[in-house]
């Protein structure tokens, strides 16, 4: 289980998300904020995370 801030609100990239996917079969992600134009960088990281997990055939569960 990860807090959104842990993996999307820091300068991380696809290599980091691939490493997470290699070590976790299922990802639980909680406390995702509502995205706006002011936080588009973290929105892009979140989208990259979802894409990486999709390509690795992993599940992601999202909790508000």
Over its length of 64 residues, how does the chain's per-residue pLDDT go in tens digits?
Answer: 899 999 999 989 899 999 998 998 888 889 999 999 999 999 999 999 999 988 888 877 777 6
Q: What is the pLDDT of residue 45?
A: 94
pTM of the shown model: 0.85
Q: Structurally, how many domains does the chain consist of?
A: 1
Per the structure, the complete domain to which residue 15 belongs is given by 2-63
pLDDT at 43: 93
CA-based angle 30:16:24, to the nearest 5?
60
Which pLDDT does position 64 carry in this prediction? 67
């Amino acid at each position: 289980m990860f807090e959104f801030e842990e993996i999307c609100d820091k300068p991380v990239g696809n290599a980091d998300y691939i490493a997470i996917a290699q070590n976790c079969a299922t990802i639980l992600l909680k406390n995702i904020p509502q995205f706006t134009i002011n936080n588009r960088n973290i929105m892009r990281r979140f989208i990259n995370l979802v894409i990486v997990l999709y390509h690795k055939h992993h599940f992601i569960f999202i909790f508000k």
